[in-house]
Chains A and B, each alone.
Chain A
Amino acid sequence: DADVTQTPRNRITKTGKRIMLECSQTKGHDRMYWYRQDPGLGLRLIYYSFDVKDINKGEISDGYSVSRQAQAKFSLSLESAIPNQTALYFCATSDLSRSEQFFGPGTRLTVL
């Protein structure tokens, strides 16, 4: 969905490097989410935010941090990347009245 954008789309980095993945949305939604996808494991929630002042840990937050800079922007950081953080990362949004989520195109991250 073009209304939710993620940058970069692909990234290769080395163990120990700090990485930031960015998500922007023009849908005007308050709720934003970060997921990682691994083969056979589905989508697992890393962090979620229901408004600018609200940040919550998901199922697998260890090794990650987030920043909600504005209603439209939600960034995910890996302070010191490790190989098992190699995955496909998705940002998603939803609004207060409807819970369906709109996903960005994803960022494929490889940690060597």
Chain B
Amino acid sequence: GQQVMQIPQYQHVQEGEDFTTYCNSSTTLSNIQWYKQRPGGHPVFLIQLVKSGEVKKQKRLTFQFGEAKKNSSLHITATQTTDVGTYFCAGPSSGTYKYIFGTGTRLKVLA
């Protein structure tokens, strides 16, 4: 079945360093979503990318959708302690409106 994988599983960075998480799908995606889950919290929607090669920015966060629409990345510039949490990508299962979530990348930021 369709799989969505993320790497790395964990990442520890010093505050101020950059961070990137990568998302790879076994199938072509019509769109990809990113969510953030703070420790002890629930996933919160960040953004959706639709177009091949699309790049979107939200302040220090940069989201990219690959040209082949099978991979995506989230890059955080100059991490802050408020960036701590688990970041998930999610892609729609082929021909349906249900989403397959990636395994998540857990980010810890050391002050």
List chain A positions with a Cβ less than 8 A from chain B: 1, 31, 33, 35, 40-45, 48, 50, 56, 58-59, 90, 92, 99-106
Q: Of A31, A99, A104, which is in contact with the most chain B CB atoms at under 10 Å from its CB?
A: A99
CB-CB nearest in chain B for A31: B97
User: Complex formed: what's the CA distance from A59 to B1 in Å?
Assistant: 9
CB-CB nearest in chain B for A96: B97
Instruction: Known contacts A99-B31, A100-B48, A106-B42; decide if A50 and B101 are in contact (CB<8 Å).
Output: no
Question: Which residues of A are found within 8 Å of B88, using beta-carbon distances?
Answer: 42-43
| Beta-carbon contact of A56 and B98 below 8 Å | yes
User: Complex formed: what's the CA distance from A102 to B43 in Å?
Assistant: 8
| Beta-carbon contact of A101 and B42 below 8 Å | no
| Beta-carbon contact of A90 and B42 below 8 Å | yes
User: Complex formed: what's the CA distance from A45 to B102 in Å?
Assistant: 11
Instruction: Known contacts A40-B103, A42-B103, A99-B92; decide if A104 and B42 are in contact (CB<8 Å).
Output: yes
List chain B positions with a Cβ less than 8 A from chain A: 1, 6, 9, 31, 33, 35, 41-45, 48, 88, 90, 92, 97-104
Instruction: Known contacts A33-B98, A43-B88, A56-B98; decide if A100 and B33 are in contact (CB<8 Å).
Output: yes
- Sample of 15 further A-B pairs with CB below 8 A, known A42-B102, A99-B31, A103-B43: A1-B42, A1-B44, A40-B103, A42-B101, A43-B101, A43-B104, A45-B99, A59-B1, A59-B100, A90-B42, A99-B33, A99-B99, A101-B33, A101-B99, A103-B44
Question: Which residues of B are found within 8 Å of A50, using beta-carbon distances?
Answer: 97
CB-CB nearest in chain B for A50: B97
Question: Which residues of B are found within 8 Å of A102, using beta-carbon distances?
Answer: 45
CB distance from B4 to the nearest CB of A (A): 8
Question: Which residues of B are found within 8 Å of A45, using beta-carbon distances?
Answer: 98-101
Find A99's partner among B42, B48, B102 (CB 8 Å cutoff). Answer: B48
* A–B complex contacts, Cβ < 8 Å, 20 sampled: A1-B44, A40-B103, A42-B101, A42-B103, A42-B104, A43-B43, A43-B90, A43-B104, A58-B98, A59-B1, A99-B31, A99-B48, A99-B99, A100-B33, A100-B45, A101-B43, A102-B45, A103-B43, A103-B44, A105-B42
